[in-house]
Chains A and B, each alone.
Chain A
Amino acid sequence: MSNTGTLLEVSGISVSFDGFKAINNLSFAIGPAEMRAIIGPNGAGKTTFMDIVTGKTKPDEGKVLWGELSRNLIGMNEAKIARAGIGRKFQRPTVFEDQTVFENLLMAVKNDRNPLKVLFFRPKFKDLAKVEELAAEIGLSDQLERKSGELSHGQKQWLEIGMLLAQDPKLLLVDEPAAGMTLGEREHTTDILKEAAKTRAVVVVEHDMEFVRRLDCKVTVLHEGSVLAEGSLDHVTQNQDVIDVYLGR
Chain B
Amino acid sequence: MTMFKKNPSLMVFIALLAIFTLAVTFMSEAYGTGALSTSFVKTLGKTLCLALVAIAMDLVWGYTGILSLGHFAFFGLGGYMIGMWLMYARTEIIVIESMANAPIPPTPSEISDAIGTQIFGVVGSSDFPLIWSFAHSFWAQIALVVLVPGLLALVFGWLAFRSRVTGVYLSILTQAMTLALSLYLFQNDSGLRGNNGLSGLQNLPGADAISQDNISIWFFWASAFALLLTYLIAAFIVSGKFGSVIRGIRDDEARVRFLGYSVEGFKLFVFTLTAVIAAIGGALYYPQAGIINPAEIAPIASIYLAVWVAIGGRGRIYGAVIGAAFVSLVSTYFTGGQAPDISLGFYTIKWVDWWLVFLGLSFVLVTLFAPKGIGGLFDLITDRMSPNRHGVPLGPDKGSLREEEAEK
Contacts and interface: CB of A to CB of B under 8 A. Distances in A.
A79 B260 contact: yes
A77 B164 CA distance: 12
B259 A121 contact: no
B269 interface: yes
Contact of A98 (B255, B259, B262, B401): B401
A82 B257 contact: yes
Interface residues on A, range: 35 or more
A150 B392 CA distance: 12
Given A79-B262, A118-B245, 18 more contacts: A54-B258, A77-B262, A78-B254, A79-B261, A80-B260, A82-B258, A82-B259, A96-B394, A97-B251, A97-B394, A98-B247, A98-B406, A99-B248, A115-B269, A116-B269, A149-B394, A149-B406, A167-B260
11 contacts: A77-B262, A82-B259, A96-B252, A96-B395, A118-B242, A118-B245, A121-B240, A123-B241, A147-B387, A149-B389, A149-B394
Nearest to B406: A98
Interface in A95-143: 95-99, 103, 106-108, 113-116, 118-119, 121-123
B241 A150 contact: no
A28 to B, nearest CB: 20
A150 B263 CA distance: 26
Majority SS at the chain B contact face? helix
A29 to B, nearest CB: 22
A96 B269 contact: no
Interface in A76-100: 77-80, 82-83, 87-88, 90, 94-99
A79 B251 contact: no
Interface residues of B, number: 31
Q: Which 9 A-B pairs have the closest CB atoms?
A: A82-B260, A78-B257, A83-B260, A98-B394, A97-B394, A119-B242, A115-B269, A121-B241, A79-B262
Interface in A32-80: 54, 56, 77-80
A96, A97, A147, A149 interface centre (most CB from chain B within 10 Å):
A96
Given A78-B257, A98-B247, A98-B406, A122 B263 contact: no
A8 interface: no
B260, B261, B262 interface centre (most CB from chain A within 10 Å):
B260
Majority SS at the chain A contact face? mixed
Contact of A99 (B240, B247, B265, B389): B247
Contacts of B406: 98, 149
A150 B259 contact: no
Contacts of B259: 79, 82, 107-108, 163, 167
Contacts of B190: none
A79 B252 contact: no
B362 interface: no
A246 B60 CA distance: 49
A88 B258 contact: yes
Nearest to B2: A122
A122 B262 contact: no
Contacts of A77: 257, 262
Given A96-B395, A98-B395, A122-B240, A115 B266 contact: yes
Interface in B390-408: 394-396, 401, 406-408
A106 B261 CA distance: 13
A9 to B, nearest CB: 21
Nearest to A85: B260
Contacts of A167: 259-260
A113 B262 contact: yes
A91 to B, nearest CB: 13
Interface string B274-304: 0000000000000000000000000000000
A94 B242 contact: no
A99 B248 CA distance: 8
